[in-house]
Amino acid sequence: MSDAQAFAPLVQELDRWRADGRSATFWWRDDDACVDSPALSRLLSLAARYRVPVAIAAIPAAVESSLVSAIGACECALVVQHGYAHRNHAASGARSAELAEDRAADATLAELARGRRTLAAAFGDRFATILVPPWNRIADHLLPHLRDEGYAGLSRFGPRASPFAAPGVPEVNTHVDPIAWRRGRAFVGIATAVARIVAHLHGRREKSCDAGEPTGLLTHHLAFGDDAFAFVDALLDVIARHDAARWLDPRDAFVLRELTCARCA
Ligand SMILES: [Zn+2]
Q: Can you count the helices (H) and strands (E) in the chain?
A: 7, 11
Q: Is the pLDDT of residue 263 over 90?
A: no
Q: How far is the CA of 259 from the centre of ligand 1 (A)?
A: 32
Q: How far is the CA of 241 from the centre of ligand 1 (A)?
A: 31
Which pLDDT tens digit goes with each residue over 48-101? 999 999 999 999 999 999 999 999 999 999 999 999 999 999 999 999 999 999
Q: How far is the CA of 86 from the centre of ligand 1 (A)?
A: 7
User: Which phi and psi (to 5°) does residue 186 adopt?
Assistant: -80, 155
Q: How far is the CA of 211 from the centre of ligand 1 (A)?
A: 26
User: Which residues neighbour 1 within 8 Å (Cβ) at sequence distance 6 or greater?
Assistant: 190, 191
Amino acid identity of residue 236, one-letter, is L
| Domain-wise residue ranges, the chain | 3-17+24-252
Q: Are 53 and 78 in contact (CB under 8 A)?
A: yes
4: confidence class by pLDDT, cuts 50, 70, 90:
confident
Can you give the pTM of this predicted structure? Answer: 0.95
Q: How far is the CA of 263 from the centre of ligand 1 (A)?
A: 43
Q: Is the pLDDT of residue 123 over 60?
A: yes
What is the topology classification, in CATH, of domain 3-17+24-252?
TIM Barrel (3.20.20)
The residues pairing with 131 across neighbouring beta strands, listed in sequence order, are 81, 154
* pLDDT for residue 256: 57
User: Which residues neighbour 238 within 8 Å (Cβ) at sequence distance 6 or greater?
Assistant: 7, 10, 11, 245
Which pLDDT tens digit goes with each residue over 10-21? 999 999 999 999
* pLDDT for residue 255: 86
